[in-house]
Each structure stands twice: as C-alpha cells, then as structure tokens.
Amino acid sequence: MGLPCLPWALLRLAFCAACLGCAQGGKLLVIPMDGSHWLSMREVVQELSRRGHESVVVAPELSMHIREGPSYTLRTYPVTFSKDRFHELMHNNSQKIFESEPLLKRIFVVIAAMKTFTDMHWSFCSELVYNEELMESLEEAEYDAVLTDPAIPCGAIVAQYLSIPAVYFLRGIPCGLDAEGTQCPNPPSYVPRLATENSDRMTFLERVKNVLYPLPQNAVCLMLFSPFARLASELLQRDLSIVDVLSHGSVWLLRTDFLLEYPKPVMPNMVFIGGINCASNKQLPQEFEAYVNASGEHGVVVFSLGSMVSEIPMAKAMEIAEALGTIPQTVLWRYTGKPPSNLAKNTKLVKWLPQNDLLAHPKARAFITHAGSHGIYEGICNGVPMVLMPLFGDQMDNAKRMESRGAGVILNVLDMTSSDLSKALKTVINDKSYKENIMRLSALHKDRPIDPLNLAVFWVEFVMRHKGAPHLRAAAHDLNWIQYHSLDVIAFLLAIVLTVVLIIVKSCKFCFRKCFGKKGKAKKSTKPKSH
C-alpha cells in the first residue's frame, strides 16, 4: 500500500498557488564553509538560482573547493595567510590521521590541528569583517537573507552586523552549541554526546560517560570559539557570547534526520534535510560506466575516504590493496597518492569519483567510507552496505549508528589488518542482512512528504520573503539559566512554604504556651504555695 503520486503533487500545486507573490527573485548572501560542507550547500544555491534568485558567495581567496560557478557570483577577498601554509595545513591534517601515536598525544595533536584550523578561519573572518570596502558593498546590496554554515560562525557574525536574517545550513556544531543556539533541550540521559559512541539507550555507566565527556570538549570549544565571540563583540560594540552569535539564525537547516540521529527534542526553527546531497542522480561518466559494466555479476565496491583524505601512507595503502585483491568485485578507489605496488587487477585507482552516482548503480555492492555525514547519506539513499573507517569528528558516531542498525561494519583504520578489511567486505557483501537493513533505512529515509533539497530551498525562500521567522524563535533566548530552569520561582515558592511553616510552628508554639504554658507556670507558682 502507498500513495498515488500524481494527485499528491497536484494538490500541493493547488495549495502552492496560495503562496505569496510567486516568481519574484530575491537576493541572497552566501558565506559558506569550505570542503564538503560547501559542496552540499552549493546544491541549494544552484536550485535557488534556477528559481530566479540572485546569490553572491563571499569567500577568502584561499579555498579548497569554492570556485566560480554559473549559479552565483563569487566575491573573494584578500587574506594575509600564506598560500603554502594553507595547502600544507590541508595536506598535513589528513596525513596526521594515519600517524600511530599514543591516545593522549593523538588527542593533543587533534586539538592542536583544530586550533590551527579555526585560527586560520578566524583570521579569514577578521579580514572579511574589517574589509571596509567589501562590507560596505554588502551593506548597500540589501540582501534578503544570509545563507551560512555556522560551524565557522563568520557568516553568523556578518549577518548580525548587517542586520540580515540568517539561514544556517549545517551538520551540527560541537559541544552542543547548536542546541544552545536554538535553545533546544538536550538531555544527556538519552541524547548521546559527541565521540562517546553511546546510543540513545545507555547503561548507567554510559550515562555517566555521556555527562563527563562534554566537560573537556567544552573547554576545547571555548578555546576554539571564543575568538569569534570577541570578534563579534568588537564589531557589534556589545558583549556577545558565541551562543548569542549563533542564536541569530532564523532557521537551522540540519543535514541529518532520524535515520542517522536518535530521536531527541527539536525546536520549531530546526528543519531536517539529511540526504540533501543524494536526492538526485546523474548519468555516470563514460569511464565509470565502462568500469561498472565490466564488473560482471559481482558488481563494484566504491572506496573513498572523503574530500579531505585522498592519500594515505604507503604501508597502510599496501595492506588495503592486499585486502581489496581478495574479493571478486571491481573496486573503484579514490586515491591520489603513489599506487601501491601490490595493487590487484580488480582495483582501479581514480583521482576523483562520482560517488553518489556510482552508489546509485544497481551493481554497487559495498561502500568503503570514512563515515562522513555526506558519505553515510549516500550509502543510505542508495541502499549500499558500508565498511566504515571513521577518522575524526562525528565520523565515529555516524559509523556506530550505522553499525548498530546492522547496515555496516566498523574498522579502525590504524589497527586493522589486511584480513580484517577482507573479512569485513565479504561480510557486508555476502551476509544478506546488511543489504536488507540498509534497504529498510533507505526506504524510511526516502519516504518523506517533501525531498530535502526542496525543503531547504523552501525555508531559505521563506526567510527571504518574511525577513526572518520570528514566530519560530523561542522566548527562551531571553531567559538566563536560572530563569530558564525556574530556579528563582522554585526558591520563591520554597521561601513562602518555609515562611508559612515557620509562622504556623511559631503560632502553634505561642498558642501552646498561652494555653498550657500559663497553667504550667501557674502550677509551678502555685506548687510552692501548696507546699
């Protein structure tokens, strides 16, 4: 049973006719985050362009993926950061992941890398907001809205400075800053915290872990984000915390849904657009079509560790190559480094691959992924079981969620042996339950009243049309911690209760003394007389 499609769309069409002033174009300022974050945001900008809106993308002149495009105007601004250092940072961070270090050292290395990364973005940001000419021209352009990824909160600062409503487009912000920015309740008793690998059903000790893990993380976040809060305070001439900066968002478009996340409280201005990056499939380029067709009945395995990691140390690469040679499938491996000498015939190295389109092919049998949210959704959308090799950030949590749903097998990329990988691949390909589970997730994920790209575009347009969405903004933003938790009310009521109890006790004592005290005294005073 299901829904007949045509009348559905026609009914929507009829309702749509009621919408406001159809077909006029708006002006959107886009301040994206680099890397894969931009790649999925670009889809929205492209769709907005098709729908007649004009977008200006503002980015530093140093960038990995932000290039000129036909759907928007790119305005880059000069930065003092060295180009060589930029490329070194981008390259080095991905190399460091594969260095085998003791856990504590590894943690400090990761924190140092994050600090370098956010410091660089902070310097880009201050060079944007203090670029008077650019900022003046942005002010004059009178944009209807700002579209930005607040994981680097520069766009949020600019939006607040220019008094333009902002639409946030993000996977999330660490340390629960997304929850704070929306005033969304986030109970640690069933909402697992970053890097805990907890599910939503925790034992007592897991719940203890869930409360403790955020403490050091919050300290790191404070270090990473407070420079942005200071920049915002300087610029806006008033004291702002990072939560104040983030809370400027009118609508939060979150690249996730409840197939990946566990169900938890949300706020009315949070919109879930998980899978936005895999809503549409294109025809495979000839080269890949040929690979897939030649793979025969065994089909193909798609292997990519994401846009940040395209090379790995040779020893690890050889181990992986050995494992890939043990399966009958053709493996398409995105790899830009020196080819391992033991590469088997079934393994094709490519500098780039159309990941989503390959996974959409019926011959895709498995997906080896670093478990970034984009890759995970491409696996879910297309129903391809996964071998998950999480590297950093939310990837371990993403991987755990897929494993717990029986849709993939996790491997630790540092510790795994060649035979571990071979075994994992054979498991997800040959054990039918993996395919069944990922197909079930895929069916649930796709069964929604409106696809994520159009939903995202709708809300960007909504904010542009109505100059924000104040009716979706919780009044909790105006309460302090004590007020929010009603602690002042509780204290007040307790004080009243205590006062009343005290008065009653005192009155009773007084009455008691009046009634019996005198008698006692009388007795006492009469006693000597009687004697």
One residue of 1, 80, 140, 341 binding a copy of itself per CB under 8 A = 1
63 vs 454 by CB, closer to a copy of itself = 454
One residue of 84, 475, 524, 531 binding a copy of itself per CB under 8 A = 475
Query: CA 106 to CA 88: how far, in whole Å?
Result: 19
Task: Give the distance from CA 153 to its chain's centroid.
Answer: 14
Which helix (DSSP H) or strand (DSSP E) does residue 147 occupy?
strand 145-148
Where in 290-426 does DSSP place strands (E)? 300-304, 330-334, 347-350, 364-369, 386-388, 408-410
Which helix (DSSP H) or strand (DSSP E) does residue 217 occupy?
helix 214-236
261 vs 394 by CB, closer to a copy of itself = 261
52 backbone dihedrals φ, ψ, rounded to 5°: 90, 10
| 103 forms part of the interface with a copy of itself (CB under 8 A) | no
- Segment contacting a copy of itself by CB under 8 A, of 94-102, 264-272, 306-314, 386-394: 264-272
| Cβ neighbours around 58 below 10 Å, total | 24
| 362 forms part of the interface with a copy of itself (CB under 8 A) | no
| 508 forms part of the interface with a copy of itself (CB under 8 A) | no
| 142 forms part of the interface with a copy of itself (CB under 8 A) | no
Residue type present at position 288: F
23 vs 103 by CB, closer to a copy of itself = 23
One residue of 64, 74, 109, 476 binding a copy of itself per CB under 8 A = 476
What residues numbered 430-469 form the site for a copy of itself, per CB under 8 A?
443-444, 446-447, 449-451, 453-455, 457-459, 461-462, 464-466
Which residue pairs from 268-272 have beta carbons closer than 8 angstroms and sit at least 24 positions apart in sequence? Answer: 268/472, 268/474, 269/182, 269/469, 269/472, 269/473, 270/182, 270/184, 271/455, 271/456, 271/459, 272/452
- Segment contacting a copy of itself by CB under 8 A, of 35-43, 85-93, 239-247, 266-274: 266-274
Residue type present at position 135: M
One residue of 185, 285, 328, 337 binding a copy of itself per CB under 8 A = 185
| 363 forms part of the interface with a copy of itself (CB under 8 A) | no
One residue of 417, 478, 506, 507 binding a copy of itself per CB under 8 A = 478
Query: CA 529 to CA 508: how far, in whole Å?
Result: 30
Which residue pairs from 316-323 have beta carbons closer than 8 angstroms and sit at least 24 positions apart in sequence? Answer: 316/98, 316/413, 318/342, 319/416, 319/417, 319/418, 319/421, 320/418, 320/421, 321/347, 322/418, 322/422, 323/418, 323/419, 323/420, 323/421, 323/422, 323/425
CB of 268 to a copy of itself, least distance (A): 5
Could you tell me how many residues of this chain bind a copy of itself (CB under 8 A)?
A: 89
257 vs 394 by CB, closer to a copy of itself = 257
370 vs 445 by CB, closer to a copy of itself = 445
75 vs 207 by CB, closer to a copy of itself = 207
One residue of 268, 285, 337, 339 binding a copy of itself per CB under 8 A = 268
Query: Token digits for 170?
Result: 């993000």
One residue of 110, 243, 267, 344 binding a copy of itself per CB under 8 A = 267
Burial classification of residue 298, based on how many CB atoms lie within 10 Å of its CB (0-12 exposed, 13-18 middle, 19 or more buried): middle
Q: Any idea what DSSP says for residue 341?
A: T
Nearest to 372, CA basis, from 351, 399, 347, 345: 399
154 vs 359 by CB, closer to a copy of itself = 359
70 vs 263 by CB, closer to a copy of itself = 263
Burial classification of residue 17, based on how many CB atoms lie within 10 Å of its CB (0-12 exposed, 13-18 middle, 19 or more buried): exposed
CB of 447 to a copy of itself, least distance (A): 6
Burial classification of residue 451, based on how many CB atoms lie within 10 Å of its CB (0-12 exposed, 13-18 middle, 19 or more buried): middle
53 vs 121 by CB, closer to a copy of itself = 53
- The residues with which 49 forms a beta bridge, in sequence order, are none
One residue of 269, 277, 329, 395 binding a copy of itself per CB under 8 A = 269
| 403 forms part of the interface with a copy of itself (CB under 8 A) | no
Which helix (DSSP H) or strand (DSSP E) does residue 244 occupy?
helix 242-246
109 vs 267 by CB, closer to a copy of itself = 267
One residue of 484, 510, 512, 516 binding a copy of itself per CB under 8 A = 484
One residue of 57, 184, 353, 389 binding a copy of itself per CB under 8 A = 184
What residues numbered 40-69 form the site for a copy of itself, per CB under 8 A?
50-53
Which helix (DSSP H) or strand (DSSP E) does residue 270 occupy?
strand 270-272
- The residues with which 347 forms a beta bridge, in sequence order, are 331
Collapsing DSSP states into helix, strand and coil, what is residue 306? coil
| 505 forms part of the interface with a copy of itself (CB under 8 A) | no
CB of 295 to a copy of itself, least distance (A): 25
Query: CA 310 to CA 335: how far, in whole Å?
Result: 5
| 339 forms part of the interface with a copy of itself (CB under 8 A) | no
236 vs 476 by CB, closer to a copy of itself = 476
What residues numbered 207-226 form the site for a copy of itself, per CB under 8 A?
207-208, 211-212
102 vs 263 by CB, closer to a copy of itself = 263
19 vs 511 by CB, closer to a copy of itself = 19
| 498 forms part of the interface with a copy of itself (CB under 8 A) | no
Nearest to 405, CA basis, from 376, 366, 364, 448: 376
Residues present in the chain in total: 531
| 203 forms part of the interface with a copy of itself (CB under 8 A) | no
What x/- string results for residues 270 through 309 when contact with a copy of itself is judged by CB under 8 A?
---------x------------------------------
